[in-house]
Amino acid sequence: MNDPVAAKLTESLAAAGFLCLGGFEPGPSDQVPALANGQSVNSLYLIGSTGPSLWPFLCRSPEYSDDEPDPLDRYTRRVLRNLATDLGYEVLFPFDGPPYHPFQRWALKCGGFSQSPLGVLAHTNYGPWAGFRAVFLSSGRTFDGTGTHSSGPCETCHDKPCISICPVDAITSSIGYDVPKCRDHLRMENHTKCWSGCLARRACPYGTDHQQDTETAYLHMKSFVDL
């Protein structure tokens, strides 16, 4: 993104471990709710994090050490809600609901993403390591168009190593991602390498510099398996 508003937003987000993954001008079909004052949203920014970028900030947060559940979501809510207020945005989170907002559809509208066999979206620069944390909304118009509409990496990835490496064949080209099979494997094999990070995600040739470290991966795996 090349507009000055996004540049200022990106700088502020980076100071808390987040980044701006793109944005667009929503239309009626995008299911973006109106602002609290009833005005229409004319600019949507997708806020996320990648790999190890957020981990140092989370580890220093009170949410990480208070032994309460969902430290990542609570840190995200506190920090991004305050930042949105300071910068004059309203904010929505993917973990608020039901009903839940169509974050994956919004990401595809931003451009650079494609649907991967893993169930997550993969980004041209960040691979499958971009986590969606919030969207910032504004009535101001800051985009020349409604989105870049550029496709992500999966459409041109012919080898698809993410499929062949899964030790229990929980990912196939015909069915996609078999979540119950993956969870069963993790529950039965507490010392499996998958607890250090999904092998299929790590096999993706895109965004290798943004992979999660083992500590971050373990936190996400615990949440995924619900231990």
DSSP secondary structure letters along 51-105: GGGSHHHHHTSHHHHS--S-HHHHHHHHHHHHHHHHHT-EEE-TTS-SSPP-HHH
Q: What's the average model confidence in pLDDT over 121-149?
A: 85
Q: What's the average model confidence in pLDDT over 97-114?
A: 94
The model's pTM: 0.89
Q: What is the pLDDT of residues 204-227, one digit of tens each?
A: 999 999 998 888 888 888 888 875
Report how far apart, in Å, the C-alpha atoms of 201 and of each of 107, 116, 194 are: 19, 10, 10
